[in-house]
Amino acid sequence: MSYQGDNILLDSGMSPKEEGPEAVADTNQTRDLHLEAAVITHAHLDHVGGLPTMLRQHSEARAFMTAPTASLAEALLHNSVNVMSSKRLEHGITEYPLFTHSEVEEQMFRWEARSYKETFNLTEHINATFYDAGHVLGSASVLLEAGGKRVLYTGDVQFDDQSLILGADLPEEIELDALIMETTRGNRGRDPKFTRANEESRLAARIQNIFDQGGSVLIPVFAMGKTQELMTMLQRFKDDNLINKEAPIHIGGLSTKMTMLYDAFAKESRRSRPGFQILRDMDLIGTKKTKRNRTREPIPYHPGRIYALSSGMMTAKTISNQFARGFLSNPNNGLFFVGYADPEEPGGKIKAASRGDVIKLDRSHPGEALLCEVEDFDFSGHAPRGQLLEYACKVKPNKIFLVHGDTESKAWFKEELSKRLPDTQIFIPEFEAEYEV
Protein backbone atom coordinates (compact mmCIF):
# COMPACT_ATOMS: atom_id res chain seq x y z
CA MET A 1 0.00 0.00 0.00
CA SER A 2 1.30 3.46 -0.91
CA TYR A 3 0.20 6.99 -0.04
CA GLN A 4 2.05 10.31 -0.40
CA GLY A 5 5.28 8.42 -0.99
CA ASP A 6 4.84 6.23 2.10
CA ASN A 7 4.99 2.51 1.28
CA ILE A 8 3.84 -0.20 3.66
CA LEU A 9 3.73 -3.99 3.39
CA LEU A 10 0.81 -6.07 4.65
CA ASP A 11 2.36 -9.29 5.98
CA SER A 12 5.63 -10.81 4.83
CA GLY A 13 5.23 -14.55 4.54
CA MET A 14 7.06 -17.68 3.54
CA SER A 15 5.28 -20.02 1.11
CA PRO A 16 4.86 -23.59 2.42
CA LYS A 17 4.90 -24.89 -1.17
CA GLU A 18 8.22 -23.38 -2.27
CA GLU A 19 11.82 -23.95 -1.25
CA GLY A 20 14.85 -21.66 -1.26
CA PRO A 21 14.63 -17.95 -2.09
CA GLU A 22 11.38 -18.49 -4.00
CA ALA A 23 9.67 -19.25 -0.69
CA VAL A 24 9.88 -15.53 0.16
CA ALA A 25 9.34 -14.17 -3.34
CA ASP A 26 7.23 -11.31 -1.98
CA THR A 27 10.41 -9.59 -0.81
CA ASN A 28 11.61 -9.46 -4.41
CA GLN A 29 8.50 -7.47 -5.34
CA THR A 30 9.38 -4.75 -2.81
CA ARG A 31 13.14 -4.71 -3.41
CA ASP A 32 13.10 -1.44 -5.39
CA LEU A 33 10.64 0.35 -3.09
CA HIS A 34 11.47 2.41 -0.04
CA LEU A 35 9.41 0.65 2.62
CA GLU A 36 8.62 2.54 5.81
CA ALA A 37 6.79 -0.24 7.62
CA ALA A 38 5.28 -3.70 7.57
CA VAL A 39 2.12 -4.81 9.34
CA ILE A 40 2.20 -8.41 10.55
CA THR A 41 -1.29 -9.73 11.25
CA HIS A 42 -0.25 -12.93 13.03
CA ALA A 43 2.62 -15.35 13.56
CA HIS A 44 1.95 -18.17 11.10
CA LEU A 45 4.91 -18.54 8.75
CA ASP A 46 2.88 -17.75 5.64
CA HIS A 47 2.40 -14.27 7.14
CA VAL A 48 5.66 -13.65 9.04
CA GLY A 49 8.24 -16.07 7.62
CA GLY A 50 9.72 -13.55 5.18
CA LEU A 51 10.02 -10.72 7.70
CA PRO A 52 13.77 -11.10 8.37
CA THR A 53 14.68 -10.97 4.68
CA MET A 54 12.38 -7.98 4.17
CA LEU A 55 13.90 -6.07 7.08
CA ARG A 56 17.37 -6.89 5.78
CA GLN A 57 16.52 -5.31 2.42
CA HIS A 58 14.84 -2.27 4.00
CA SER A 59 17.11 -1.23 6.83
CA GLU A 60 14.91 1.66 7.99
CA ALA A 61 11.59 -0.17 7.95
CA ARG A 62 9.73 -1.05 11.14
CA ALA A 63 7.36 -3.95 11.75
CA PHE A 64 4.11 -3.49 13.69
CA MET A 65 2.18 -6.34 15.34
CA THR A 66 0.46 -7.22 18.61
CA ALA A 67 2.57 -8.25 21.62
CA PRO A 68 1.45 -11.92 21.49
CA THR A 69 2.28 -12.04 17.77
CA ALA A 70 5.76 -10.70 18.51
CA SER A 71 6.42 -13.43 21.09
CA LEU A 72 5.08 -16.20 18.89
CA ALA A 73 6.86 -14.87 15.79
CA GLU A 74 10.20 -14.82 17.58
CA ALA A 75 9.86 -18.52 18.44
CA LEU A 76 8.56 -19.47 14.99
CA LEU A 77 11.34 -17.64 13.15
CA HIS A 78 14.06 -19.25 15.27
CA ASN A 79 12.49 -22.63 14.60
CA SER A 80 12.40 -21.77 10.89
CA VAL A 81 16.17 -21.22 10.95
CA ASN A 82 16.60 -24.71 12.41
CA VAL A 83 14.31 -26.27 9.78
CA MET A 84 16.08 -24.50 6.92
CA SER A 85 19.49 -25.53 8.27
CA SER A 86 18.35 -29.16 8.32
CA LYS A 87 17.06 -28.87 4.75
CA ARG A 88 20.41 -27.46 3.65
CA LEU A 89 22.11 -30.62 4.90
CA GLU A 90 19.44 -33.10 3.79
CA HIS A 91 18.46 -31.63 0.42
CA GLY A 92 21.48 -29.55 -0.54
CA ILE A 93 19.58 -26.24 -0.68
CA THR A 94 22.69 -24.08 -0.45
CA GLU A 95 20.76 -20.81 0.00
CA TYR A 96 19.39 -22.05 3.34
CA PRO A 97 19.04 -20.71 5.91
CA LEU A 98 17.65 -17.54 4.36
CA PHE A 99 18.33 -15.75 7.65
CA THR A 100 20.09 -16.56 10.92
CA HIS A 101 19.29 -16.66 14.61
CA SER A 102 21.44 -13.58 15.25
CA GLU A 103 19.72 -11.70 12.43
CA VAL A 104 16.31 -12.33 14.01
CA GLU A 105 17.58 -11.12 17.38
CA GLU A 106 19.23 -8.02 15.93
CA GLN A 107 16.09 -7.02 14.01
CA MET A 108 13.68 -7.31 16.90
CA PHE A 109 14.40 -3.76 18.10
CA ARG A 110 12.57 -2.69 14.93
CA TRP A 111 9.46 -4.64 15.93
CA GLU A 112 6.81 -2.47 17.60
CA ALA A 113 3.89 -3.95 19.53
CA ARG A 114 0.49 -2.28 19.52
CA SER A 115 -2.76 -3.15 21.31
CA TYR A 116 -6.17 -3.79 19.79
CA LYS A 117 -8.33 -0.73 19.09
CA GLU A 118 -5.36 1.62 19.63
CA THR A 119 -4.91 3.94 16.65
CA PHE A 120 -1.25 4.63 15.93
CA ASN A 121 0.96 6.29 13.32
CA LEU A 122 2.19 3.63 10.93
CA THR A 123 3.99 6.28 8.88
CA GLU A 124 3.84 10.06 8.68
CA HIS A 125 0.74 9.88 6.48
CA ILE A 126 -0.87 6.54 7.36
CA ASN A 127 -2.63 5.59 10.59
CA ALA A 128 -3.51 2.05 11.64
CA THR A 129 -5.75 0.31 14.17
CA PHE A 130 -5.63 -3.38 15.08
CA TYR A 131 -8.80 -5.40 15.72
CA ASP A 132 -8.90 -8.93 17.14
CA ALA A 133 -9.24 -11.33 14.19
CA GLY A 134 -10.08 -14.42 16.29
CA HIS A 135 -7.76 -16.65 14.22
CA VAL A 136 -4.96 -17.43 16.70
CA LEU A 137 -3.50 -15.73 19.75
CA GLY A 138 -2.58 -12.16 18.83
CA SER A 139 -4.06 -12.26 15.33
CA ALA A 140 -5.25 -8.92 14.01
CA SER A 141 -7.20 -7.35 11.21
CA VAL A 142 -5.91 -3.84 10.49
CA LEU A 143 -7.76 -0.67 9.57
CA LEU A 144 -5.61 1.70 7.53
CA GLU A 145 -6.51 5.38 7.23
CA ALA A 146 -4.85 7.91 4.94
CA GLY A 147 -6.03 10.98 3.07
CA GLY A 148 -9.63 10.50 4.16
CA LYS A 149 -9.69 6.89 2.86
CA ARG A 150 -10.27 3.77 4.94
CA VAL A 151 -9.04 0.28 4.05
CA LEU A 152 -9.60 -2.81 6.21
CA TYR A 153 -7.31 -5.82 5.73
CA THR A 154 -8.81 -8.89 7.40
CA GLY A 155 -5.72 -11.07 7.44
CA ASP A 156 -6.81 -14.56 8.52
CA VAL A 157 -10.08 -14.22 10.42
CA GLN A 158 -12.47 -16.44 12.38
CA PHE A 159 -15.80 -15.03 13.59
CA ASP A 160 -16.83 -18.07 15.65
CA ASP A 161 -15.57 -18.64 19.18
CA GLN A 162 -13.05 -21.47 19.25
CA SER A 163 -12.29 -23.69 22.25
CA LEU A 164 -9.86 -21.16 23.69
CA ILE A 165 -9.73 -18.02 21.54
CA LEU A 166 -12.89 -15.96 21.14
CA GLY A 167 -14.15 -15.00 17.69
CA ALA A 168 -13.21 -11.85 15.79
CA ASP A 169 -14.17 -8.42 17.08
CA LEU A 170 -14.18 -6.40 13.84
CA PRO A 171 -15.84 -3.02 13.27
CA GLU A 172 -19.24 -3.27 11.57
CA GLU A 173 -20.65 0.26 11.73
CA ILE A 174 -17.94 1.71 9.56
CA GLU A 175 -17.62 3.24 6.11
CA LEU A 176 -14.92 1.52 4.08
CA ASP A 177 -13.41 2.54 0.79
CA ALA A 178 -11.86 -0.91 0.42
CA LEU A 179 -11.92 -4.31 2.08
CA ILE A 180 -8.99 -6.67 1.52
CA MET A 181 -10.49 -10.03 2.46
CA GLU A 182 -9.16 -13.55 2.85
CA THR A 183 -10.93 -16.30 0.88
CA THR A 184 -9.36 -19.47 2.29
CA ARG A 185 -12.56 -21.50 2.57
CA GLY A 186 -14.29 -20.20 -0.53
CA ASN A 187 -14.00 -23.50 -2.39
CA ARG A 188 -16.29 -25.40 -0.04
CA GLY A 189 -19.51 -24.72 1.79
CA ARG A 190 -20.50 -25.84 5.26
CA ASP A 191 -23.43 -28.06 6.17
CA PRO A 192 -26.25 -25.70 7.27
CA LYS A 193 -26.81 -27.96 10.29
CA PHE A 194 -23.20 -27.63 11.44
CA THR A 195 -22.49 -26.41 14.95
CA ARG A 196 -19.15 -26.40 16.69
CA ALA A 197 -20.75 -27.93 19.80
CA ASN A 198 -21.97 -30.91 17.79
CA GLU A 199 -18.56 -31.29 16.13
CA GLU A 200 -16.86 -31.32 19.52
CA SER A 201 -19.35 -33.91 20.79
CA ARG A 202 -18.66 -36.05 17.73
CA LEU A 203 -14.90 -35.90 18.35
CA ALA A 204 -15.30 -36.81 22.03
CA ALA A 205 -17.50 -39.78 21.16
CA ARG A 206 -15.05 -41.05 18.53
CA ILE A 207 -12.10 -40.75 20.94
CA GLN A 208 -13.91 -42.72 23.64
CA ASN A 209 -14.99 -45.33 21.11
CA ILE A 210 -11.33 -45.88 20.17
CA PHE A 211 -10.45 -46.25 23.85
CA ASP A 212 -13.28 -48.76 24.32
CA GLN A 213 -11.93 -50.94 21.52
CA GLY A 214 -8.41 -50.93 22.96
CA GLY A 215 -6.74 -48.44 20.66
CA SER A 216 -5.16 -45.00 20.79
CA VAL A 217 -5.84 -41.76 18.95
CA LEU A 218 -3.38 -39.79 16.85
CA ILE A 219 -4.40 -36.18 16.17
CA PRO A 220 -1.94 -34.34 13.90
CA VAL A 221 -1.83 -30.67 14.91
CA PHE A 222 0.06 -27.52 14.07
CA ALA A 223 2.30 -26.42 16.93
CA MET A 224 0.80 -22.95 17.15
CA GLY A 225 -2.93 -22.46 17.44
CA LYS A 226 -4.36 -25.88 16.75
CA THR A 227 -2.43 -27.56 19.59
CA GLN A 228 -3.68 -25.10 22.19
CA GLU A 229 -7.27 -25.18 20.92
CA LEU A 230 -7.23 -28.98 21.00
CA MET A 231 -5.75 -29.14 24.51
CA THR A 232 -8.48 -26.85 25.82
CA MET A 233 -11.11 -28.98 24.12
CA LEU A 234 -9.69 -32.24 25.48
CA GLN A 235 -9.62 -30.87 29.01
CA ARG A 236 -13.30 -29.97 28.73
CA PHE A 237 -14.01 -33.50 27.49
CA LYS A 238 -12.37 -34.86 30.62
CA ASP A 239 -14.08 -32.37 32.92
CA ASP A 240 -17.47 -33.34 31.45
CA ASN A 241 -16.70 -37.10 31.60
CA LEU A 242 -16.96 -37.38 27.81
CA ILE A 243 -13.66 -39.25 27.58
CA ASN A 244 -11.59 -41.23 30.07
CA LYS A 245 -10.29 -38.72 32.64
CA GLU A 246 -7.14 -40.76 33.14
CA ALA A 247 -6.21 -40.99 29.45
CA PRO A 248 -2.66 -39.65 28.99
CA ILE A 249 -2.17 -36.91 26.40
CA HIS A 250 1.14 -36.49 24.58
CA ILE A 251 2.48 -33.27 23.07
CA GLY A 252 6.06 -32.08 22.65
CA GLY A 253 8.69 -30.27 20.64
CA LEU A 254 7.70 -26.86 19.31
CA SER A 255 4.14 -27.39 20.56
CA THR A 256 5.39 -27.08 24.13
CA LYS A 257 7.15 -23.77 23.44
CA MET A 258 4.08 -22.36 21.70
CA THR A 259 1.85 -23.49 24.57
CA MET A 260 4.12 -21.75 27.08
CA LEU A 261 3.62 -18.52 25.14
CA TYR A 262 -0.14 -19.02 24.96
CA ASP A 263 -0.17 -19.50 28.73
CA ALA A 264 1.93 -16.37 29.24
CA PHE A 265 -0.86 -14.27 27.68
CA ALA A 266 -3.70 -16.11 29.45
CA LYS A 267 -4.84 -12.98 31.32
CA GLU A 268 -4.19 -10.52 28.49
CA SER A 269 -6.23 -11.95 25.63
CA ARG A 270 -9.91 -12.57 24.91
CA ARG A 271 -10.59 -16.18 25.86
CA SER A 272 -13.41 -18.56 26.65
CA ARG A 273 -11.45 -19.73 29.72
CA PRO A 274 -9.54 -16.63 30.90
CA GLY A 275 -7.77 -18.24 33.85
CA PHE A 276 -6.99 -21.56 32.20
CA GLN A 277 -3.30 -22.33 31.62
CA ILE A 278 -2.67 -25.47 29.63
CA LEU A 279 0.72 -26.51 30.99
CA ARG A 280 -0.26 -25.66 34.58
CA ASP A 281 -3.76 -27.13 34.59
CA MET A 282 -3.27 -30.23 32.43
CA ASP A 283 -1.12 -33.30 33.03
CA LEU A 284 0.60 -33.61 29.65
CA ILE A 285 3.34 -35.99 28.57
CA GLY A 286 6.28 -34.60 26.60
CA THR A 287 6.39 -31.09 28.05
CA LYS A 288 9.52 -31.55 30.15
CA LYS A 289 13.06 -31.92 28.84
CA THR A 290 14.09 -35.54 29.05
CA LYS A 291 16.72 -37.68 27.43
CA ARG A 292 14.10 -38.75 24.87
CA ASN A 293 13.33 -35.12 24.02
CA ARG A 294 16.97 -34.26 23.52
CA THR A 295 17.85 -37.31 21.41
CA ARG A 296 14.54 -37.45 19.55
CA GLU A 297 14.01 -41.11 20.38
CA PRO A 298 10.72 -42.50 19.05
CA ILE A 299 7.61 -41.87 21.14
CA PRO A 300 6.48 -45.26 22.52
CA TYR A 301 2.99 -46.44 21.61
CA HIS A 302 0.54 -47.40 24.36
CA PRO A 303 -3.18 -48.13 24.05
CA GLY A 304 -5.69 -45.77 25.59
CA ARG A 305 -3.76 -42.58 24.89
CA ILE A 306 -4.09 -39.42 22.81
CA TYR A 307 -1.09 -38.36 20.77
CA ALA A 308 -1.48 -34.72 19.66
CA LEU A 309 1.64 -34.39 17.53
CA SER A 310 2.88 -31.92 14.94
CA SER A 311 2.80 -31.33 12.09
CA GLY A 312 -0.88 -31.07 11.23
CA MET A 313 -0.20 -32.23 7.66
CA MET A 314 2.02 -35.13 8.82
CA THR A 315 4.86 -33.72 6.74
CA ALA A 316 7.94 -35.96 6.36
CA LYS A 317 10.46 -35.77 9.21
CA THR A 318 7.87 -34.42 11.69
CA ILE A 319 6.81 -36.18 14.88
CA SER A 320 3.31 -37.05 13.68
CA ASN A 321 4.74 -38.62 10.52
CA GLN A 322 7.29 -40.70 12.40
CA PHE A 323 4.83 -41.85 15.04
CA ALA A 324 2.31 -42.97 12.40
CA ARG A 325 4.55 -45.87 11.32
CA GLY A 326 2.85 -49.00 12.57
CA PHE A 327 -0.03 -46.94 13.94
CA LEU A 328 -1.88 -46.84 10.61
CA SER A 329 -2.09 -50.61 10.28
CA ASN A 330 -3.69 -51.17 13.71
CA PRO A 331 -7.49 -51.38 13.20
CA ASN A 332 -8.13 -50.45 16.85
CA ASN A 333 -6.53 -47.03 16.43
CA GLY A 334 -8.04 -43.76 15.29
CA LEU A 335 -6.36 -41.07 13.18
CA PHE A 336 -8.40 -37.87 13.51
CA PHE A 337 -7.70 -34.68 11.56
CA VAL A 338 -8.80 -31.35 13.05
CA GLY A 339 -7.39 -29.00 10.41
CA TYR A 340 -6.35 -28.58 6.81
CA ALA A 341 -3.87 -30.91 5.11
CA ASP A 342 -2.46 -30.17 1.67
CA PRO A 343 -3.46 -32.95 -0.78
CA GLU A 344 0.22 -33.48 -1.66
CA GLU A 345 1.31 -33.98 1.96
CA PRO A 346 1.00 -37.36 3.73
CA GLY A 347 -1.96 -36.12 5.78
CA GLY A 348 -3.83 -35.05 2.68
CA LYS A 349 -3.13 -38.35 0.95
CA ILE A 350 -4.42 -40.28 3.97
CA LYS A 351 -7.60 -38.18 4.01
CA ALA A 352 -8.21 -39.10 0.36
CA ALA A 353 -7.37 -42.79 0.80
CA SER A 354 -9.71 -45.71 1.38
CA ARG A 355 -9.43 -48.34 4.08
CA GLY A 356 -6.84 -50.92 3.06
CA ASP A 357 -4.91 -48.62 0.73
CA VAL A 358 -1.14 -48.74 1.10
CA ILE A 359 0.25 -45.49 2.50
CA LYS A 360 3.86 -44.34 2.10
CA LEU A 361 4.71 -41.72 4.71
CA ASP A 362 7.89 -40.65 2.93
CA ARG A 363 10.24 -41.88 0.23
CA SER A 364 12.02 -44.30 2.58
CA HIS A 365 8.83 -45.72 4.09
CA PRO A 366 8.02 -49.16 2.61
CA GLY A 367 4.32 -48.44 3.00
CA GLU A 368 1.63 -50.01 5.15
CA ALA A 369 -2.05 -50.74 4.86
CA LEU A 370 -4.37 -48.05 6.18
CA LEU A 371 -6.50 -50.07 8.61
CA CYS A 372 -7.04 -47.60 11.45
CA GLU A 373 -10.15 -45.42 11.53
CA VAL A 374 -9.70 -42.06 9.81
CA GLU A 375 -12.03 -39.11 10.36
CA ASP A 376 -11.96 -35.42 9.56
CA PHE A 377 -13.36 -32.75 11.90
CA ASP A 378 -14.08 -29.12 11.12
CA PHE A 379 -12.25 -26.95 13.63
CA SER A 380 -10.82 -24.49 11.15
CA GLY A 381 -9.34 -21.23 12.35
CA HIS A 382 -10.67 -19.57 9.19
CA ALA A 383 -14.20 -18.23 8.86
CA PRO A 384 -16.52 -20.22 6.58
CA ARG A 385 -17.36 -18.47 3.36
CA GLY A 386 -20.91 -17.61 4.39
CA GLN A 387 -19.70 -15.56 7.35
CA LEU A 388 -17.18 -13.67 5.23
CA LEU A 389 -19.93 -12.85 2.76
CA GLU A 390 -22.13 -11.68 5.63
CA TYR A 391 -19.41 -9.36 6.95
CA ALA A 392 -18.71 -7.89 3.52
CA CYS A 393 -22.43 -7.20 3.07
CA LYS A 394 -22.60 -5.46 6.46
CA VAL A 395 -19.78 -3.01 5.77
CA LYS A 396 -20.60 -2.53 2.04
CA PRO A 397 -17.19 -1.24 0.94
CA ASN A 398 -16.72 0.58 -2.34
CA LYS A 399 -14.15 -1.99 -3.42
CA ILE A 400 -13.25 -5.51 -2.33
CA PHE A 401 -9.94 -7.20 -3.03
CA LEU A 402 -9.95 -11.00 -2.71
CA VAL A 403 -6.73 -12.57 -1.44
CA HIS A 404 -5.32 -15.58 0.44
CA GLY A 405 -7.21 -18.36 -1.31
CA ASP A 406 -6.89 -20.63 -4.30
CA THR A 407 -8.23 -19.69 -7.73
CA GLU A 408 -11.51 -21.52 -7.20
CA SER A 409 -12.10 -19.87 -3.83
CA LYS A 410 -11.54 -16.34 -5.10
CA ALA A 411 -13.70 -16.97 -8.16
CA TRP A 412 -16.59 -18.18 -5.98
CA PHE A 413 -16.39 -15.08 -3.79
CA LYS A 414 -16.24 -12.75 -6.77
CA GLU A 415 -19.38 -14.28 -8.27
CA GLU A 416 -21.34 -14.23 -5.01
CA LEU A 417 -20.26 -10.74 -3.97
CA SER A 418 -21.09 -9.36 -7.40
CA LYS A 419 -24.66 -10.61 -6.93
CA ARG A 420 -25.08 -9.29 -3.39
CA LEU A 421 -23.18 -6.03 -3.71
CA PRO A 422 -23.83 -4.79 -7.27
CA ASP A 423 -22.52 -1.31 -6.45
CA THR A 424 -19.20 -2.66 -5.14
CA GLN A 425 -16.23 -3.27 -7.42
CA ILE A 426 -14.75 -6.72 -6.87
CA PHE A 427 -11.11 -7.44 -7.71
CA ILE A 428 -8.94 -10.53 -7.77
CA PRO A 429 -5.55 -8.78 -7.67
CA GLU A 430 -3.08 -9.70 -10.39
CA PHE A 431 0.62 -10.12 -9.75
CA GLU A 432 2.44 -6.76 -9.61
CA ALA A 433 -0.68 -4.87 -10.72
CA GLU A 434 -1.50 -1.53 -9.07
CA TYR A 435 -4.98 -0.55 -7.86
CA GLU A 436 -6.35 2.76 -6.63
CA VAL A 437 -8.69 2.93 -3.66
pLDDT in tens, 18-67: 899 989 866 666 677 889 999 999 999 999 999 999 999 999 999 999 99
| Pairing assessment for the beta strands 358-359 and 368-369 based on DSSP bridges | antiparallel
Average pLDDT, the chain: 94
Identify the pLDDT of residue 221: 96
Q: Which domains does the chain have, with CATH numbers?
A: 2-171 (3.60.15.10), 196-376 (3.40.50.10890)
Identify the pLDDT of residue 252: 79
pLDDT in tens, 327-365: 999 999 999 999 999 999 999 999 999 999 999 999 999
pLDDT in tens, 160-200: 999 999 999 999 999 999 999 999 999 888 888 999 999 99
pLDDT in tens, 288-304: 654 444 446 789 999 99
Tell me the whole-structure pTM to 2 decimals: 0.94
Identify the pLDDT of residue 431: 84
